[in-house]
Chains A and B, each alone.
Chain A
Amino acid sequence: MMPPESLKLRVLEAVRQQPLPRRTNRLPVTMGLAALSAVAMSAVLQWAPRLFGEVGGVAHAVGRPAASGTWILAGTVAVALFSTWLVLPFRRSMLLPARGVLLGVAIGVPLLVGAWLVLWHTTYDDPFTRIGWRCFALTALTAPWPFATLAYASRRMEPRHPGMAGAALGAAAGAWAAVMVELWCPLAVHSHVLVGHVLPLVVVALAGSVIGVRMFRLRRM
């Protein structure tokens, strides 16, 4: 069974009417976007806390022992790097990773970040107590920037599971947001970690799922 000749003519005509450029190197743009998002996240970290009447930047975390802070940060950076490596198309493929990997990232990032923070809570006493809504807001404000970068890097890839792919991208972006927020926040008590550090990652992953369905939708041409 062969497709009719008329189909071939139709396809070739449609392609002729929509000329597209040859392959372009997207790495410089992606790196530029990554740098831009790093600047944007730093700006959020510096200025957004002032909206809540707090000190911006890393000065807010002085009450936390430097060693604990360094380890917390190193672990979160590792989670962010690993999750980014998993979801981004570094492989020689036009397909995003398998559903299991995406699901693992979407679920694993909030769990790992939360567990890592709680683990370090045993090494020091929190300098003060808070529910965690400030950290929630900061995560929500910083996560869209890395998400935009990751979304650009995954553009035109075939996700196979758009919602899951979006959730994984959201979780990876959330991991980078968590790195920034943990530069600012010295608290690691369970209740605070749950509301301020884990819940926003879950929300970002869910939002990523919704955006992913739209972003990866196959548009008829």
Chain B
Amino acid sequence: MQAVMNQAALVTDVRSDVDAVDPSRADGAMERYACGDEAAFLDLYDELAPRLYRFAFRWTRSRSSAEDAVQQTLLQIHAARHSFVRGAAVMPWAYAIARRLLIDVGRRGTREELRAHDVRDPEEATTAPSPEEALHWRRVEAEGQRDLRSLPSAWREAFELVKFEGLSVAEAAEVLGITRAMVKIRTHRATVALREALARRFHGSPERTLRVVPIAPRARDMGVGERGDRT
């Protein structure tokens, strides 16, 4: 049981894999840029691009789509330079733009297509310590991805922003346009669902019975069935 809980902790208590970024640096850079300091955009890029890139890549699983989303997000920020509100937080704003761009990409079918064909990152490391280990980790990753995709999109988005992107609950609430309490509830529900799915996998039959959770419209569109399998 302890092993299961350790595994669950790995999946559900994961902290951001993004280097700690001080949001005030991004805010300061944007403020300077809005005031006419052209060079500040470079600082803004350095602060935002890595985080947005990881966020977009996690969403699209495609390096080129992630690059496009980052580029468009930063250009939208650039376009709003003259109307930037003094003292506004840049990070939630940037994530909100990126999220909307990625939703548009999803609507256009790019995301579904990429996932349907299981597009892999060409620059992703293909070597592993051993074939067995590689197979094991690929399986674990695929199952984790499937569990995550089987969550309702609202839960998943809150979970990803808080757990993977390292945003605070307040920032995630701003990005999603919902209350902080709702972010906490959704993140908690996603965490519980993932833990349960993981526990069932360890204790369940070889057929793996994932807890049936309401399928998000986006996941349904992608052809993901109730057990997380592609239909």
Contacts and interface: CB of A to CB of B under 8 A. Distances in A.
Contacts of B42: 12
Contacts of B87: 92
A1 B19 CA distance: 10
Interface stretch (A41-49, A114-122, A143-151, A152-160): A152-160
A35 interface: no
Given A3-B53, A12-B42, A95 B93 contact: yes
Interface string A76-120: 000000000000010011110111100000000000000000000
B1 interface: no
B76 A221 contact: yes
Contact of B49 (A8, A155, A156, A157): A8
Given A94-B88, A95-B93, A218 B104 contact: yes
Given A94-B93, A95-B92, A3 B50 contact: yes
Contacts of A100: 178-179
B96 A21 contact: no
A98 B176 CA distance: 8
B174 interface: yes
A39 interface: no
Interface centre among A14, A15, A24, A98, by most B CB within 10 Å? A15
B85 A22 contact: no
Q: Is the interface of B mostly helix, strand, loop or mixed?
A: helix
A16 to B, nearest CB: 9
B79 A7 contact: no
B57 interface: yes
B86 interface: yes
A159 to B, nearest CB: 8
Nearest to A26: B83
A218 B76 contact: yes
Given A15-B75, A158-B100, A218-B100, A7 B67 contact: yes
A22 B93 CA distance: 19
Contact of A93 (B17, B88, B99, B104): B88
Contacts of B81: 20-23
Interface centre among B17, B85, B104, B177, by most A CB within 10 Å? B177
A158 B93 contact: yes
29 contacts: A1-B53, A1-B54, A2-B50, A3-B67, A3-B70, A7-B71, A10-B71, A14-B71, A18-B79, A20-B78, A20-B82, A21-B82, A22-B35, A22-B81, A24-B83, A26-B83, A89-B85, A92-B87, A94-B80, A94-B85, A95-B93, A95-B177, A98-B177, A98-B178, A99-B177, A160-B96, A160-B100, A218-B72, A221-B79
Nearest 5 CB-CB pairs, A to B? A22-B36, A160-B177, A221-B75, A3-B53, A92-B87
Interface of B: 17, 34-36, 41-42, 45, 49-50, 53-54, 57, 66-67, 70-72, 74-76, 78-90, 92-93, 96-97, 99-101, 104, 173-179
